[in-house]
A = this chain, B = another copy of it.
Amino acid sequence: MSKEIPYKIYLEENEMPRQWYNVRADMKNKPAPLLNPGTLKPCTLEELSHVFCEDLAKQELDDTTAYIDIPEEIRNFYKMYRPSPLVRAYCLEKALDTPAKIYYKFEGNNTSGSHKLNSAIAQAYYAKKQGLKGVTTETGAGQWGTALSMACAYFGLDCQVYMVKVSYEQKPFRREVMRTYGANVTPSPSMNTEVGRKINAQFPGTTGSLGCAISEAVEAATTQEGYRYVLGSVLSQVLLHQTVIGLETQTACKKFDIVPDIIIGCAGGGSNLGGLISPFVGEKLRGEADYRFIAVEPASCPSLTRGVYAYDFCDTGAVCPLAKMYTLGSTFIPSANHAGGLRYHGMSSILSQLYDDGILEARAVEQISVFEAAQQFARTEGILPAPESSHAIRAALDEALKCKETGEEKTILFGLTGTGYFDMVAYQKFNDGQMSDYIPTDEELNESISKMPKVD
């Protein structure tokens, strides 16, 4: 007889992970190395250490060590908002009238509102350990910037955030959260950096772009003594830190004899999905268990389902290393109509390799159906989900409804990455019936893909 499952499973403190899991160690086909954009040769530790903290650069390059200790200082910070609950969606199951069992791992119970804090605190820790004064980063809507601000406040580090100007002006709430945590938030393009001054001169009155903000943040990191640049997704080091999600989930599942058939996550740069599934992927790669993994991406930015697997720039400004990944081309910009996050043109190189190897499935979902799922979830489970997370909800609902048709009692587990409290403009559009779907044409995708660097 299986154990009675509570609505929410919280691990005890002594059950929390003490090591991150590096799935690359178990991958037969390793992710392709990052390339130096100048030489097109694999980046060395020294090269990466000019931009990133040294320990983080080491983690980025390490594809053989399976378990990496989580330093005690980070584990103590994790204890303030973790373990996150693994929730049995009893009310949603009832509303759907499905024989499926639905679980979600909820990462939204912290002020950053998402899983981003898991890596932000790790990156801030290594910066502090290296004796740095501070870190720089870029942010769009502000989720990553908020997480980093919180982490820097904790370790007493200076935090310089370049925030896309249009968001800085139109979305003042996240900006004020960052400022409350002591971060220095600058609208980008600014007059602080050479690249910012140049863009301001060239395009007077521009409201900025993420690509420009990245370039400013990288310049600020490399031209100030004692600073490094940090990034919230895509990189393998970020996926490594995010495995705390999957490791907690794995422990909770074992404790309560839960065996998921399908594990689902939304995928932008891939940090949340990679963090959730890594330990389970490890089991599968080692032949210990079998699971289906589904990456859910927006139909308006379909890097896995319609992109190509090739070397590309990670940033629009083309200053960062090149990564081999599923990509739509770094010049691809999703329609402004698209409100649901997950706007990144590429995908984590780890997940890209797993997808190419057939370990990971992918599907694209449309915006209105995503918000319909979000609304149903909010009304039954009581949590207002982030639009990004709601992509995973959509796929979980679809799988649960399939079970209703077939009568199968599958166990579906998905990652609920965060809350949508700062996304009410998008919800308002949906509530007012003003939301529409947008799928890029083949011509559009071909154009941005054709502009990619020719490396292979």
Contacts and interface: CB of A to CB of B under 8 A. Distances in A.
Contacts of A378: 111, 153, 180-181
Interface string A380-395: 1111100000000000
Given A8-B79, A110-B382, A113-B421, 8 more contacts: A7-B79, A81-B382, A111-B384, A111-B419, A150-B382, A153-B378, A180-B374, A421-B422
A407 interface: no
Given A91-B80, A421-B421, A180 B384 contact: yes
Interface string A75-119: 011011100000100110000000000000000011101000000
Interface string A1-32: 00000111010110000000000000000000
B153 A7 contact: no
Interface stretch (A56-64, A171-179, A235-243): A171-179
A389 to B, nearest CB: 13
Contacts of A79: 6-8
A375 interface: yes
6 contacts: A77-B382, A111-B419, A153-B380, A173-B421, A180-B375, A180-B430
A337 interface: no
In this complex, which of A87, A180, A384, A421 has the most chain B Cβ atoms within 10 angstroms of its Cβ? Answer: A180
A382 B111 contact: yes
Given A80-B91, A379-B153, A379-B154, A177 B7 contact: no
A109 B107 CA distance: 11
A121 to B, nearest CB: 9
Nearest to A4: B13
Interface in A157-185: 172-173, 176-177, 179-182
A446 interface: no
A375 B165 CA distance: 25
A80 B90 CA distance: 9
A428 interface: yes
Contacts of A379: 153-154, 181-182
B427 A180 contact: yes
Interface string A260-285: 00000000000000000000000000
